[in-house]
Structure formats: structure tokens, C-alpha cells
Chain A
């Protein structure tokens, strides 16, 4: 009985140890092309650092015909995708899945969504506005971007690494991949999910808090 305080202390330490080992955090990978640069230090020595691919500057019009750019997504993590409103194939299922994630994070101002239209001829902002309203998106959390053909197609292929193209033989005349891309607050790609696969999109929903946790410290 004399050693009771000691035992309690020991037990406390054990519990602490167990909890500590459990909270070993998981980090999301960083996708995209990499480059290296040589960093010169103050003491004259130098070392090699990795340069990760980042989303470059962009300016588009959103569904309210308001200019949006990188600052719109400053200090946010966001999910980007490419679609068009008259799409008869994979878009409805992508946005059905993404809508669930949107609902789940409705109260979290750090999370945003950015859907780029690849139908630069038809999907003008007011068409996007109608589409958003019918999808049940009525706030600024989910932005629908309209831009010049080259701007959208270049950022899709070079930056988000999503293949898009026009194809008059295809129903709906555009083809594109259904990837949802998770971008962190430093414009880096941290997740790629098949938007047509509800399991993959569920994983996206779980990865967003993991990514946000990186910034909590």
C-alpha cells in the first residue's frame, strides 16, 4: 500500500506512452513533378532542396461573373475538378459524389471546391450559376470557373494533370478524366481521387481533415 502513488505514476506513464504511440500522425503524399534547387546557406555551404509542383497563378470568372484567383483559395485546402454542364457521361456521378463531401464540410471555412468547365463555348457564368443552383450549391464555398479555352486546358493538363480534350465524335463533344484533386494551402497536390468511384470520394472526405491537421501546429 505504501507504493500506491508510485504505482499510479507508473500507470500514468504507461497510458501516456500508449496514447503517444497511437497519435503518430499520417501525412498525405505530395504529387506532381519534382525539381531540385541548390540552397546556399549563410555559412557559405549549400545543400539540395526539393521543389514540388504547385498550382500556378490563375484568374477565372466564377458563377457570379466575379473574378476568382489564387487569393480566393488563400489559406484553404480545396478540391479541383474539370467538367461541363451538359455532360452526359461521368460528370453527374462525379458531382453527386462530390456534393456529399461539400455537405460534410459545409461548416468548415478552410475547405473549398473548384470546378472548371471545359465547355468554353456554352458554359458561361450564368449557365454555371443555374447549374450550381440546381445542384444545391448556393454559397461561395464551391466555385465554378469559366475561362478561355487555353487557360483552362493548360491548367488542367500541366498543373492538375487531368487530361481534357474536345472530341466531336464523342457524345457531348468533350472528353475528360474524372479526377478530383486535393490541393493544400501551399498550392501543392496532395490527393488524386476517382470522382466516379464513391469509395474513392469517401476517402477524399477522410483525407481532408488529415491534411488540415498538418496546419494545426
Chain B
């Protein structure tokens, strides 16, 4: 009987270890998400709204999961350099200029992207700073 309890305990410890190892990445993602949310409130919410709902046909909502997925590699450039072209979001056309947020660091941008792509119905997982740095090199 004692042996069973012991082996069960060992097994439990090992599973816990494996489980916590797996979630290290998850913890990092959660950190990015939380920081991204704070940055969103400070830097994006004014125009894009509390619920990322945008403003009529002037400012696009940031809740179009398909747009976010399709243009994931462009998000960093849009945030950093602003936008001055027509885009289709939620099947609606938007053509107002978006101001550049050039003072944001790559890590800030990564955090904002993690927040946007993991809220409002999106669940795209982690996006790290290196990916943002690579994206920014390819900006038009």
C-alpha cells in the first residue's frame, strides 16, 4: 500500500514538473499580454476605443480576427510607422491616416501584438520581440 502511495506521489511530482515546464512559455505570453493591454490603454485606446471597437467609418476596429491573422507580419510596421493606405476591416473600408508610434520599442510592439491577437476572439498565441524586429526590417 505504502509503495502505491509513494509511486503515486512521485508520478504527481513528475507530471507537475513537466506541466510547469510547458507553461513557462505560457507565462511569458501572459506577461506580454498584460503589458500589451497596459500599452493599448495608453497608446491606442484613445482612437480605437475601450473595446477596440473603432469609431464609425473613421477608425477601424481591431477585432477582425481574420485581418489580424492575415496581416500579422505587417502589424509591427503599421504600429511603428503608421498607415496611409486603404484597408478593409470587418468588410468595411477605412482610409484615414494612422499616426506613427515611432517611439515604441520592439518589445512594446510585440506586447501590443500579443494583446491584440489574443483578445476579442483571436487566439494566435505568442509573438516575440525577435519576430517584431524581423518584421520591421521588411517594412515598405
| A residues whose Cβ falls under 8 Å from a Cβ of B | 86, 88-90, 92-93, 95-96, 99, 131, 133-136, 171-172
Contact = CB atoms under 8 A, between A and B. Distances in A.
Interface of B: 46-47, 49, 55-59, 96-97, 99
Nearest to A135: B56
A131 B49 CA distance: 18
Contacts of B49: 96
Contact of B58 (A90, A131, A172): A131
A131 B59 CA distance: 11
Q: What is the predominant secondary structure among interface residues of chain A facing chain B?
A: helix
A134 B99 contact: no
Nearest to A136: B56
B58 A89 contact: no
A8 to B, nearest CB: 55
Given A134-B96, A171-B99, A172-B99, A99 B56 contact: yes
Given A99-B55, A171-B99, 16 more contacts: A89-B46, A90-B46, A92-B47, A92-B55, A92-B59, A93-B47, A95-B55, A96-B49, A131-B58, A133-B57, A134-B56, A134-B57, A135-B55, A135-B56, A135-B58, A136-B56
Contacts of A89: 46
Contact of A93 (B46, B56, B96, B97): B46
Contacts of A133: 57
30 contacts: A86-B97, A88-B47, A88-B99, A89-B46, A90-B46, A92-B46, A92-B47, A92-B55, A92-B58, A92-B59, A93-B46, A93-B47, A95-B55, A96-B49, A96-B55, A99-B55, A99-B56, A131-B58, A133-B57, A134-B56, A134-B57, A134-B58, A134-B96, A135-B55, A135-B56, A135-B57, A135-B58, A136-B56, A171-B99, A172-B99
Contacts of A90: 46
Q: What is the predominant secondary structure among interface residues of chain B facing chain A?
A: loop
A88 B59 CA distance: 11
B94 to A, nearest CB: 9
Contacts, number: 31
Nearest to A92: B47
A88 B55 CA distance: 13
A90 B46 CA distance: 7
A95 B96 CA distance: 15
Q: Which of A89, A90, A92, A99 has the most CB of B within 10 A?
A: A92
Contacts of B57: 133-136
Contacts of A172: 99
Contacts of B59: 92
A93 B54 CA distance: 10
Nearest to B98: A88
A88 B47 CA distance: 7
Contacts of A135: 55-58
B124 to A, nearest CB: 26
A-B pairs, 3 with minimum CB distance: A134-B57, A88-B99, A92-B47
Contacts of A171: 99
